[in-house]
Amino acid sequence: MNLYNRAPIAVDRGEGVWLIDTEGRRYLDCVAGIATDALGHAHPALVAALTEQAGKLWHVSNIFRIPGQEALAQRLVDASFADCVFFANTGTEAVECAIKTARRYHHVNGQPERIDIVGFAGSFHGRTYAAINASGNAGYMEGCGPRLPGFVQLSIDDTAAIEAAIASPTTAAVIVEPVQGEGGARALSGEWLLRLRELTRKHGVLLIHDEVQSGMGRTGKLFAHQWFDGAAPDIMALAKALGSGFPVGACLATTEAAKGMTPGVHGTTFGGNPLAMAVGIAAFDTIANEETLAHARAASADFFERLEALRARFPDVIAEVRGKGLLIGLKMIPNNREFMGIARDHGILVAGGGENCVRLLPSLLISAQEIAEAVTRLEAACGAARGLMAKAA
């Protein structure tokens, strides 16, 4: 199906932060599969985990115990607010499970009227029907039939509407990305997230964090909400970097929030299969250690400093540098899609994003030298963009 505006590169292989196309051209990859290849390409620990598991066992079904699932779930639980985990294959499935978990909670609590899921403008939760309704973004919903009942979309800045929605007796849960990814690398403040936590708790409404993009070290903490003490949700969706390139998603919850998730209520054929779990465990053990997270924080500080300096040299090209950790947004003055093409011509790959942003989402292991090289290439791209703008004027 003709669903993607694909960049004209046929990718052949990857090495760390580098992608090499079929003609041997090398690109510095600041897309990383949209914040997914958190350890770069062909990381030896992941390659070893996958190849070893491939000769052992691929798939058995969730009617059996899968030791890898128990091991990865234990790691996630030990490192988070959560007590239990459901494994899926993708982010949108993790969100789907989060929404069902929230509605089931109120159902078994004797409040079946609580079905409303409150989401926010500029959010992205994936492409299944519930996920597009939860985000409420018109661009993802147009022509896909009626909006589902039980979804409310608000602006992040509309405090009064947020307070009213959370106080409503039909509200089940609020879903939010602590750092909006597709929306353009918008980091929500600790104050905002803590206020949301306080309000949801007060009114018996569950809080869902969609950390599909911001989680697993992307912001320099294992989970983005961990920057703020007391901000932890009741339910959290993960995917992307959880498998660092192998498809795996997860929905984490407290025992209390998951009390409606009983045998038969939900399930999956492939979710949590032994291949995904083997890679997930290797990825977790490489990401969730202080060395990797400290490296990501230092890389972020370095990158932000260099990008701010670049913006100062090109205020006519870059309007703003924003985001958190290595989820970085450059708000562009020229069209972001055009700039992505110019950057590609200069040997650096960047992702798009809302509000005319381009996003830089490199491997968490990116070196200082590679960051300097990335900024050199972006500088050349900014120069070319400036030239094109002058020509057009």
Which residues does the annotation mark as catalytic? 124, 210, 240
- Residue 127 annotated as part of some ligand binding site: yes
Separation CA 307–CA 301 (nearest Å): 10
Residue among 94 and 378 whose Cβ is closer to ligand PLP: 94
Question: According to the annotation, is 91 in a ligand binding site?
Answer: yes
126 in contact with ligand PLP (CB under 6 A):
yes
Q: Does position 178 bind ligand PLP by CB under 6 A?
A: no
Minimum distance between the CB of residue 169 and ligand PLP, rounded to whole angstroms?
Answer: 28
Return left, alpha or beta for 69; rule: phi > 0 is left, psi -120 to 50 is alpha, else beta. alpha
Minimum CB separation from ligand PLP for residue 310, in Å?
25
Nearer to ligand PLP, 242 or 293 (CB): 242
Distances (CA, A) of 252 to 57, 63, 72, 308: 25, 20, 12, 36
The encoded tokens of residue 64 equal 């059996």
Part of the chain binding ligand PLP (CB under 6 A), chosen from 120-128, 163-171, 287-295, 343-351: 120-128
Does residue 37 touch ligand PLP according to CB under 6 A?
no
Q: What is the CA radius of gyration of the chain?
A: 21
Q: Confirm whether residue 304 is marked as ligand binding.
A: no
Q: Please tell me whether residue 96 binds ligand PLP under the rule CB under 6 A.
A: no
Near ligand PLP by CB under 6 A: residue from 95, 176, 224, 279: 95
Question: In whole angstroms, how close is the CB of 384 to ligand PLP at the nearest point?
Answer: 29
Tell me which residues in 294-323 interact with ligand PLP (CB under 6 A). Answer: none
Q: 212, 224, 318, 358: which one contacts ligand PLP (CB under 6 A)?
A: 212
Q: Is 29 annotated as a binding residue?
A: no
Interacting span for ligand PLP (CB under 6 A) from 206-214, 227-235, 254-262, 277-285: 206-214
Question: 349 to 388, contacts with ligand PLP by CB under 6 A?
Answer: none
Binding residues: 91-92, 124, 127, 210-213, 268-269
For ligand PLP, the binding residues (CB under 6 A) are 90-92, 95, 124-126, 177, 181-182, 210, 212-213, 239-240
